[in-house]
């Protein structure tokens, strides 16, 4: 999911756009989570195979922050999704 980061969406996770962000759902457990911005944008962009560098540029513009800080925001979000089980490392079974 995250270009060059070797993570991917866990199997049976779906998502839907909401007015204020994005709703993640796990079909196997029924768990859900609401992503507000900028995380909603990060998830959407990565899930549509937008390259990591481009995601960072978009987040940098949206947040009006430099590229380094934007990269931190993106990577922090991805780490949290790994912790929360929405993403898995590339080779792991979802």
Partner 1 sequence: MQDSTFVIPIIDKWLIYSPLHHLAALLNGAAVSSLRESNSRRLPESLASIKRAIEAEPARVPSPNSGPARPQFVGVIPTRACNLKCVYCGFGASSCPDRTMDLDTAVALVDWWADYAKQSGIDTLEIHFFGGEPLCAPDVVSAVVHHARRRAAEAGLAARFEIATNGCFDDDSRAFLSDYIDSVVLSLDGKSVYQDRYRPTSSGAGTFEAVAANARRLAASSTELCVRTCVTAENAKDLQESTAWMCEELNPSSIDYEVLQPTPESDAAGLAPPDPWEFATAFIRASRVAAEAGVRAVYSAASTDELRHSFCPVGTDTIIASPDGRLSACYLLEEDWQSRGIDLNVGTVDAANGVKLDQSAVERVRALTGCADRCRKCFVRRHCAGGCHVNHSYPGHPDRYDDFCVQTRLIAACRLVGGLVGDEQVDRLLSDRTEMERLALRASDTLEDWDGAAT
Cβ 6 to partner 1 shortest distance, Å: 19
Identity of the residue, 49 or 68, whose beta carbon is nearer to partner 1 in the bound complex: 49
- Residues at the site binding partner 1, with contacts judged by CB under 8 A: 16-17, 19-21, 36-38, 40-41, 44-45, 48-50, 54, 57-58, 60-62, 64
Identity of the residue, 25 or 58, whose beta carbon is nearer to partner 1 in the bound complex: 58
Alpha helices, H only, 50-90: 52-63, 67-84
């Amino acid at each position: 999911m995250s270009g060059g980061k070797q993570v991917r969406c866990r199997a049976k996770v779906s998502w839907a756009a909401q007015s204020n962000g994005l709703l993640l759902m796990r079909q196997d457990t029924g768990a859900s989570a609401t992503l507000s911005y900028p995380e909603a944008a990060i998830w959407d962009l990565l899930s549509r195979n937008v390259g990591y560098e481009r995601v960072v540029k978009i987040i940098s513009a949206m947040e009006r922050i430099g590229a380094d800080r934007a990269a931190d925001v993106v990577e922090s979000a991805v780490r949290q999704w790994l912790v929360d089980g929405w993403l898995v490392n590339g080779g792991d079974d979802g």
